[in-house]
Amino acid sequence: MNLNDKFKIRSEGVEWLYLLAAKAFKKSTFRYYWNQLAGFPELRQYLEELGFDKWSRAYQPRLRYNQTTTNIAESMNAVLVHARYLPVTTLLEHCGALLQRWYYEQRTYASTRASILTDYVEGIVKSAVEQARQHTIRPIDNYEYEVHDGNSKVRVNLNSKSCTCKQFDYYQIPCSHAVVATMHRNVSIYTLCSPKYKLETLLNTYAEPIYPLGDEEDWPLPDDFVEYTIEPPKFVARVGRRQTVRIPSAGEPQQIHKYSRCGMQVHNRKTCRQPLRTTES
């Protein structure tokens, strides 16, 4: 949803401030950008009514990684956007084939890599290592360190796997501050990464193959199987076209469309009764 369009805001910086607030790891950083939105009370009221835990990274009750959606059904709707028009049995076969392909691709990917972590997380760690070379460090004890990152100071605890920048706590991947601490302590970076990011975990997750149903005549049947003829449910067909537009999710605002010629809402060219505008010569 475009916030500028919903609230008729003409400033491009408003949506940028919203994104900065939404992606802030620390609550203090969130409040800084949130206060800059004080000039847009309707927008703030809307976001407050949604709940900070629904869209703010700093207030999320659990790890969502980099996903900003709270409704996985929307993601599946995008995947099945064309297949959902198929008959039910064909749709289920399509879903089974989709899972079969996904599982195979993930197993193949995990079994052909020589690294410890997935490629995506390896890239994050590599970037953190490069940034860590610019930091200075002061030991507090064997496991706690003060790290200077430009004009900011943070504290890293290798035992609790945390950093006051909150990025380490959120992703459960060592941030650049934690990386420089591991270099000083001579500890492997991989021991501080969550097991969920390891290729071994990925391989175990997709270890079981998804088998197709095969031909119906080859299905194994129990000895006490009794065949029944299942009749379709009785219903009265609705008049008109079948609904193809999805039903909005709970809390999703309704989009109001305007007819561009007259600027009025809730009608179009066929139902518009406004007189045509003419230009004076």
pTM over 0.85: no
CB 188 within 8 A of CB 158: no
Between residues 123 and 266, the one the model is more confident about: 123
Residue 192 lies in a domain: yes
Of the pLDDT bands very low, low, confident and very high (cuts 50, 70, 90), residue 139 is: very high
Tell whether the model's pLDDT for residue 187 goes beyond 60: yes
Which domain-ending residue is among 187, 206, 225?
206
Calpha distance 113→79 (Å, rounded): 27
Tens digits of residue pLDDT in 57-108: 999 888 877 776 666 777 888 888 888 888 888 999 999 999 999 999 999 9
Does residue 271 lie within any of the structural domains? no
pLDDT number for residue 92:
92
Give the torsion through C-alpha atoms of 27, 28, 33, 39, to 10 deg. 100
223-229 long-range Cβ contacts below 8 angstroms, 24+ apart: none
The DSSP line for the chain is --HHHHTT---HHHHHHHHHHHT-SSHHHHHHHHHTTTT-HHHHHHHHHH-HHHH-GGG-SS--TT---S-HHHHHHHHTTTGGGS-HHHHHHHHHHHHHHHHHHHHHHHHT--SSB-HHHHHHHHHHHHHHTT-EEEESSSSEEEEEETTEEEEEETTTTEETTSHHHHHSS--HHHHHHHHHHT--GGGGS-GGGBHHHHHHHT-SPPPP---GGG----TT-----PPPPP-PPPSSPPP-SPPPPTTPPPP--B-TTT--BS--TTT--SPPP----
Can you give the pLDDT at residue 281?
Answer: 42
91 occurs within a structural domain: yes
Helix axes of 119-132 and 176-185: crossing angle, nearest 10 degrees: 70
User: For 199-226, what is the mean pLDDT?
Assistant: 90
Residue 173 counted as domain residue:
yes
Q: Is pLDDT of 183 > 80?
A: yes
Please compute the mean of the pLDDT values over residues 20-40 and round it to a whole number: 91
* pLDDT given for residue 270 in this prediction: 72
- Do residues 93 and 125 both lie within one domain? no
Say if 63 falls within a structural domain: no
Number of structural domains (the chain) is: 3
Mean pLDDT in residue range 239-263: 68
Of the candidates 165, 188, 206, which is a domain's last residue?
A: 206
Output phi, psi for 258, to 5 deg: -115, 145
Strand order of the β-sheet with 136-139 is: 136-139, 144-149, 152-157, 162-163
Residue 161 and residue 93 share a domain: no
Q: What is the mean pLDDT of the chain?
A: 85
Residue 266 confidence (pLDDT) above 70: no
Q: Of 197, 221, 242, which one is at a domain's C-terminal end?
A: 197
Is the pLDDT confidence value at 189 over 60?
A: yes
Task: Show Cβ contacts of residue 109 under 8 Å, excluding neighbours closer than 6 positions.
Answer: 202
> Is residue 84 domain-resident?
yes
Per the structure, the complete domain to which residue 85 belongs is given by 70-114+201-206
